Amino acid sequence: MYLPPALLLLLSAQVAPAAYAFAPHRSLADATERFHRFAKRHSARFARDLRVVFQGLAVDQAESDPNASHRVYCVRPDDLSAGFGSNTTSTSPATSSATGSASASGTSSGAAPTATSPWKLVESHSGKNFFDGFSFWDLADPTNGAVDYQSQEDAESGGLIEINDDGNAVLKVDTTSTISGNRKSVRITTENTFTGGIFVLDAVHMPQGCGSWPAFWSNGPDWPTFGEIDIIEGVNDYTNNQATLHTASGCQIASNSTAQSLGISSTLIGGTNCAALETSNQGCGMRSDSNTTYGSGFNSIGGGVYAMVWDDDEIAVYFFPQGSIPQDLTAEVPLPETWGTPMARWPATNCDLDTFFKNHSIIINTTLCGDWAGSVWTASGIPGQETSCAQRTGYSTCEDFVHNSGASFGKAYWEISSLKVYQTTRQS
């Protein structure tokens, strides 16, 4: 987006505090330096504010011109790029693409990768070394699922993990016909932790079907003290993704929040209080308006890219279907302010992110039944699950279905092209 210099000066004057104006007792160099520091701190929020203003103008224009585009891009100024050290962890050969082979086709969207980005790649998982840098959880499921999580050695020998011919990582659920106990599955956690960043998962398939409860999420120590961010989550036959924050007491979104006021493409689920222990662990969730963002809906379009942005101003979740992945992500120079409307967004206004979110590990898992999937086994009227799983399967409980219908879990697998993490400076 091009903005005339005069307009930029006018807008800058509106957002800069009076203390940054030139005064007789301040030198030009001093004022310039002070304004530079101010702009550096507030440019991301300023860019978002500009985007909201001009999106409003675009909507007005579209009402008079049905062929007008509703997407307006503002590009981060080049002078915000920051220096970066060599603290990068990679589990695959260097590549110029942020996606696997399944993401290479189609037309990308977003800003052209000519601008620099302050976000630098600090960890990457893809290809034959995808599982390097992950630990395998082999303890009981904390969400009371009917699963037996496997060690890496057992998951490999049991055929539950592999790198397929496309170079994608596959994480499966055991499909043995009948079992007497819990069904074998996989849960992996990054060995490194992160405070803030952009977390990008490129997947061509995710688990689907009754009984399943997959998730791509991040979690801090001493839950819920340092927070949980659910990026991809749902259960059973749901087709609309739900992103959720679970926190300690004191984090919330404004009580009068709406999808419109937050600027999201989702519906608020479960209220505005994010405190896990005050909401029976419901947290503050947002369910996507799209039925191709989760489960069978996600798989029907060949998957896509989820990106979670966690900075000083907000936590936000974006989804891009395959063929519509921003060029800056493909080029590994993410410019989130150009990505348009997020699926979900939690501003820092009523939740101090520095207090409630720290030292997160990234987790990918598939549990079965448990506290959520099991509790809504008989529920209906949910996007993708118009009739209940009890009716669809003929089993009265989720656990009976898991024990006696192994073939039904043939589609309960993740196929992941890559997982990448970006930060402005390395923070664990």
- By annotation, the residues acting in catalysis are 228, 233
Torsion of CA 387, 385, 323, 95, to 10 degrees: -140
Quick check: 376 and 391 in contact, CB under 8 A? no
DSSP 104: S
**Count of beta carbons in the 10 Å neighbourhood of residue 114:** 11
Residue 306 pairs in a beta bridge with: 201, 319
| DSSP output for 200-269 | EEEEEE---STTEEEEEEEE-STTTTT-EEEEEE--TT--S-EEEEEBSTT-B--TT--HHHHT-SEEEE
- Residue 172's identity, in one-letter code, is K
Burial class (CB in 10 A: 0-12, 13-18, 19+), 23: exposed
Alpha-carbon distance of 395 to 400, in angstroms, equals: 6
CA distances from 137 to 134, 155, 169, 358 (A): 10, 11, 17, 21
Quick check: 111 and 326 in contact, CB under 8 A? yes
Q: Whole-angstrom distance between the N-terminal and C-terminal Cα of the chain?
A: 35
Quick check: 247 and 233 in contact, CB under 8 A? no
- Determine if the peptide bond prior to 224 is cis (ω within 30°): yes
Alpha-carbon distance of 131 to 162, in angstroms, equals: 9
Strand duo 228-233 + 89-90: pairing = unpaired
Alpha-carbon distance of 284 to 2, in angstroms, equals: 37
- Residue 346's identity, in one-letter code, is W
Residue labelled with tokens 């209080």 = 273
Burial class (CB in 10 A: 0-12, 13-18, 19+), 267: middle
